[in-house]
Amino acid sequence: MNPVGRRLMFLAPLALLGIGGVGAFTLLKRMAEGDFDPRGVPSMLIDKKVPDFTLAAQSGQAGFSAADLAGAGQPVLVNFFASWCLPCVAEAAQLLALKQRGVALWGIAYKDRDEETARFLKQHGNPFARIGRDAEGKAALEFGVYGVPETYLVDRAGIVRWRWVGALTDVVVARALNPLLKQYA
């Protein structure tokens, strides 16, 4: 092997470290900016039709199905929530604010009892135009939900355009949701 080749071979581990270091730094930067979440799970539904489901209604409100979403005539925010979920309490105020702005909010009560959901809505306010009951969590599985709260933006044609895991905050609404609401209005 010629001397130059040999030198290059000895430099290989250092080069590998360099590439690795740059890669790691990029990932750390993305983590700090919120672009990369090692624990996050991307949604498989983005730009796809809402999965088929039909849900019974929460007492006192109308329920809904996938077909209803497609025929809503406006973009709908579908929010999975539960009375036993703490971040749902945190985002209650945010959802009410969205309702004030005229955004259509349809809720799905995930693995909850009728009375508990009613109590939750009475205590923290009810931003939902319609509420479906998903006591078994089957509809949630179709959506690819793995925890609450999760929020899906469905456009007029019934296509899922955006998904957020966790409580909606001012930052998320301003940065991510508002532009999309405008786009799919």
Partner 1 sequence: MIPELGHFALALAVALACAQGFVALLGARRLDARWMAAGGALALGQFIAVALAFAALVWSSVIDDFSVLNVAENSHSLKPLLYKISGAWGNHEGSILLWCLMLAGCGAAVAGFGRGLPSALRARVIGVLGGCSAGFLLFTLLTSNPLMRLWPPPADGRDMNPLLQDPGLAFHPPLLYAGYVGFAVPFAFAVAALIEGRVDAAWGRWVRPWALASWSLLTGGIALGSWWAYYELGWGGYWFWDPVENASLLPWLTGTALLHSAIVVEKREALKTWTILLAIATFSLSLTGTFLVRSGILNSVHSFASDPTRGVFILGLLVIVIGGSLALFAWRAPSLGATGLFAPVSREGALVLNNIFICSIASVVFTGTLYPLFAELVFGAKLSVGAPFFNATVLPLSVPVLLAMTVGQILPWKRAALGPALLRLWWAALAATAVGVTVALGLRVVLPAIGFAGAVWLVLGSFGEIIERVRLFRVPLSVSRARLAGLSLSVWAAAIAHAGMGVTVAGIAGMALASEKITAVAAGETIAFAGYDWTMEGVRAGTGPNYNERIAPIAVHRNGVFIVRLAPARRAFTTQRMETTETSIHTTGFADLYAVLGEERDGKAILRLHYNFLAPWIWIGALIMSFGGFLSIADRRLRVGAPARGGKAGRTSHAVAAE
Partner 2 sequence: MIRIFLLLCLLAGPAFAVSNPGEMLADPAQEARARALGQQLRCLVCQNNSVEESEADFARDLRRVIRERVTAGDDDAQVMAWMTARYGEFVRLYPALNAQTALLWASPVLALAMGAAAVLLGRRRRQAAPTPLSDAERTALEKLTTP
- What residue ranges bind partner 2 (CB under 8 A)? 1, 39, 41-44, 111, 137, 141-144, 146-147
Q: What share of the chain is helix, strand, coil (3-state, %, to 5)?
A: 45, 20, 35
Rg of the chain's alpha carbons, rounded to an integer? Answer: 22
* Pair of tokens at residue 12: 């290989």
Angle at 103 between CA 149 and CA 120, to 5 degrees: 40
13 makes contact, choosing from partner 1, partner 2, none, with CB < 5 to 8 Å by partner type, with partner 1
146 makes contact, choosing from partner 1, partner 2, none, with CB < 5 to 8 Å by partner type, with partner 2
- φ/ψ of residue 64, rounded to 5: -160, 170
Distance between CA atoms of 115 and 121, rounded to whole angstroms?
10
Size of interface with partner 1, in residues (CB under 8 A): 24
The SS3 assignment for 184 reads coil
| Residue 14 interacts with partner 1 (CB under 8 A): yes or no | yes
Site residues for partner 1, window 17-46 (CB under 8 A)?
Answer: 17-18, 21, 23-29, 31-32, 36, 38-42
Q: How far is the CB of 46 from partner 1 (least distance, A)?
A: 13
Binding interface with partner 1 (CB under 8 A): 6-7, 10-11, 13-14, 17-18, 21, 23-29, 31-32, 36, 38-42
